Chain A
């Protein structure tokens, strides 16, 4: 498809151009409808007016990375046939409480526009949006074909809203509620699915806490024969889980409930046999409060596992190692650092196909915990898992040499997110900054798309990043750098940079203003607790009218300082729903 468009573009032959012009739109639309990648579609729409038109009529899915970059009106005007919408709202640092409440990103205005223009909307995926019960009720009542709702890191709604969805969405296939700021008042929403409702394929309520009616859940699981993904919450006991598994042997992704229960021999055998009967499970999560005693019930199921999420289970290294021996096909692994380096060594020894590793801290605020993971665990994984390309690693110490070894073993990193939890910590063996570590990463990993840096870092790190990270799209920086030069190197150097988020760094106005044109090619820039002034922000806003420059002030801070700055490109102009704490310049 790409080469075809290129050929047409490059050809100066008028005869060929005439052929293009008479190519029927309908055929073009059918051809273009086979394109799914958003970026391909964007490229296609730029070829010529005909292609732009054909593309917009044939597009059914849209992805909007920043809900304020475009308005519902502009969206619905351009794309008349959308069935699936993905929207992301607040800046990522809102996950860490850095964004004031009521900041915005409310879904409601979008839903109102969609009710008119996309009444046949089927799918809605929201991340970091503000969603109210009223909006969920509106959604449930106005879109008869609605099939898929996915809410990740959203807030503002309660289980009442879920009840509305369960009650009214007769064609629902997917309900995926993850890690939201949800007011969980009761589990009765689950009982709202009518007895005639059978279309569910994905149900994920693992992060809710209220008890649900287990009879209702069992009946629901029994009658939804296409159910492939079931992730229950920790109110579901092992015995209840066993009954669910027996009714859904076709499951492919399972999130268990609580793994802590006193099981006598018979129920344990039943549980093990229920697991063995589910031969298609490739993803396993949950395991809340897992007692190692019952983990062997999983061993047979682990043989085909490709994704194991133990990030809410505090397993020690010994029992984790015993489990991981049974998971030779693992490609993605999320764990807590309670497994320690020894546990990670077991991963290196047993999981040669591993591509993604995330290690979360069990006790992030306890600085004197003697355990957790160190550079050794990471190095051990890199020796055993050469296909590793995605890592998120929280640790309390690191060395430059270790990181150099790691990227030498695994040069294909696309996502390297290293969080040394004490801000500004140097290499603990040499006492030097961690510049060379990240230098090694960007020099060796040419495919690097996402990088999070930590530890003691000078401007040299950013010189390296600017010089070598040619495919970098997302960069997160905290407590790093020495001067404006650091940020300037990145802005001048990384051609594909889309998201830059910075906190607590000594970057100031000169750095901010060095990126004027750059910001239009990026999705957004976040700078908080840096050295930027209001005047500089005003200058930036004045010179770049297609950027929204928003400043969030903190109580009691100096009037001239811009405490938190969020800058993003937009075709929708300045937003009108900002709360008083957010100043649009």
Chain B
């Protein structure tokens, strides 16, 4: 599709400096089925092409061993839900876009384990909600490298 003679050389245009950037949209959504916060994200390149699974897993977004189970010690795989997949693909609950998401089935147990281990975690009422969210973000940061990007 090349048309090299379409226009003359432009000496006032700077050379392209940045190529290969990816756009990642990240969301925290309440899972309608599990009733816990769930991390959703979508990634695409500058042409709007979404990344394939292999490319998603190589993103610097995740710790290198995020999906080997070894690092994620507080995620216990429960009998009651399917063991796989840790990473799922599906519709965003409200935005009608397709996203990857971290499966929420083990979240409740994992967060409660964290809460039980700390003093603040044993708080009640509104404080408990705050501590719950804090614990959830701690859990998330064990998988994701830098939530603030």
State whether these chains interact: no
Instruction: Point out residues on B near A: beta carbons under 8 Å.
Output: none
Instruction: Point out residues on A near B: beta carbons under 8 Å.
Output: none
